[in-house]
Structure 1
């Protein structure tokens, strides 16, 4: 590798760490950087996943204020095992099957997630109003909402381990709708859960996949710095603005992947 490529990967790592911790779009920066240094698509995918462990580490440390409290701990205890199993399943699928299977549907999944992020407050208010109108004792029938969130978490974990691009947007949309919490707190949960899914996938790739270690390490070093800075940046942005920025970035990634696939 040339020094220009080394510096470019470090810079891409910082950018990916910020984008990943704020918007769940680390691969928007990091995956093209892997392709730009000449890696084949599958090798770029697995190397990128290993390098993005740095983004997860930095963003989780940076998100500690939003992860405090019994409610957040309960959510993590409930959803972390699901994300872990999903990420492991996705990594196994990637190692055993061709990686092109998701390419044509992924842009639509990401675009749909961006729309959900934009309208999640309105949808959540509608769900809360529906629950208030439910007769006494009907809460058990409404448990499917929680089940659907767990199923959705598993599905996003599988996708994150298999392909990854845009998985953070999908997970953030799911958590924003399922929890009804502030976007920055849902984003902190996303940083942990996506980090779990990516990390277990990265372990599988490290053992069985075509990882290029020098690019992965360089990307990871930059990601730690960017991931740590991201939550602090997000705290200074009004929720409506943050939601709009994330959604617009998601639409951009959806269009980019659509053009690649079609």
Structure 2
């Protein structure tokens, strides 16, 4: 890489770390930059997954106050994230690069619809729980959320772009909690998926150490920036940011070829 390419990758890492912590979809910033430096698509995907691990951890640390009381829930959901992340990483090396190109924009679009409808869905679910005398429901979301996050994590291990939006839509629909606390849990789940996939890639795929280190440093910085910004956003504004970023993600995913 030239010095200018290195600076571009580093800046992309900061941007990805920031947006991943607030919403998700940071890969849509780093991935095109890595391709522009000449890296093959699979090598770029693997290098990106490795580099974003510190950013995910940094963002999770920044949201540590919102993680209070969620340990049991997160431990259970992390099992789904780990299994799915490993499955997605294996699929990345087995399937052709274009395998998910059609379904990914559809998944992200469906997730955005769920995010938009989440307040109404949550109220309907709460009314049903009150009628049935199960006001709190399953604090971990039950089998449906576990299965949904497992499938979302397969996608996350495969490509990662917009996986955070999918996580937030599923948890927002099936868990009775604030969007900020769900966002904190999302950062933990993303860190697990990236870490599991990256450990697999270390032994089974090619990657570029320069790109990994630049994104790692940048995303760590971005994770702290994202946590400071994201934690101050009111629920309605945060939901609006998710919708805007998700829409831009769909446009880029559809048009990037």
Q: Report the TM-score when normalising by structure 2.
A: 0.94
- Write out per-residue CA displacement over residues 162-187 of structure 1, whole angstroms, 9 at most, x where no aligned residue: 12111111111112222221111101
Deviation at 1:235, TM superposition (A): 1.8
Deviation at 1:11, TM superposition (A): 0.9
Deviation at 1:156, TM superposition (A): 0.8
- Distance in 2 between residues matched to 1:103 and 1:87, nearest whole Å: 18
Alignment partner of 1:81 is 2:72? no
Deviation at 1:215, TM superposition (A): 0.6
| Mapping for residues 172-251 of structure 1, pairs under 5 Å | 172-251=168-247
What SS does structure 2 have at the residue aligned with 1:43? helix
- Distance in 1 between residues matched to 2:127 and 2:254, nearest whole Å: 37
Q: Which residue in the other structure is 1:104 paired with?
A: 102
Structure 1 runs of 4+ aligned residues shifted over 3 Å read: none
- Distance in 1 between residues matched to 2:171 and 2:224, nearest whole Å: 21
What SS does structure 2 have at the residue aligned with 1:24? coil
What SS does structure 1 have at the residue aligned with 2:98? helix
Which segments of 5 or more consecutive residues in structure 2 lack a partner in the other structure?
A: none
Structure 1 vs Structure 2 CA RMSD: 1.9
State which of 97, 113, 116 in structure 1 corresponds to 2:114.
Answer: 116
Q: May I ask how many residue pairs the two structures share in their alignment?
A: 255
Contact 2:63–2:231 under 8 Å retained in 1? no
- Write out per-residue CA displacement over residues 194-224 of structure 1, whole angstroms, 9 at most, x where no aligned residue: 1101110011112111211111110110000
| Mapping for residues 23-62 of structure 1, pairs under 5 Å | 23-62=23-62
Q: Which residue in the other structure is 2:127 paired with?
A: 129
- Distance in 2 between residues matched to 1:174 and 1:111, nearest whole Å: 13
Q: Which residue in the other structure is 1:167 paired with?
A: 163
Deviation at 1:6, TM superposition (A): 1.3
What SS does structure 2 have at the residue aligned with 1:25? coil
What SS does structure 2 have at the residue aligned with 1:102? coil
- Distance in 2 between residues matched to 1:203 and 1:209, nearest whole Å: 10
Contact 1:99–1:162 under 8 Å retained in 2? no
Deviation at 1:25, TM superposition (A): 1.6
Structure having the higher helix fraction is 1
- Distance in 2 between residues matched to 1:185 and 1:241, nearest whole Å: 15
Which segments of 5 or more consecutive residues in structure 1 lack a partner in the other structure?
A: none
Q: Report the TM-score when normalising by structure 1.
A: 0.92
- Write out per-residue CA displacement over residues 55-99 of structure 1, whole angstroms, 9 at most, x where no aligned residue: 112111111111112xx1111121111111110111111122223
- Distance in 2 between residues matched to 1:110 and 1:37, nearest whole Å: 27
- Distance in 2 between residues matched to 1:189 and 1:60, nearest whole Å: 8
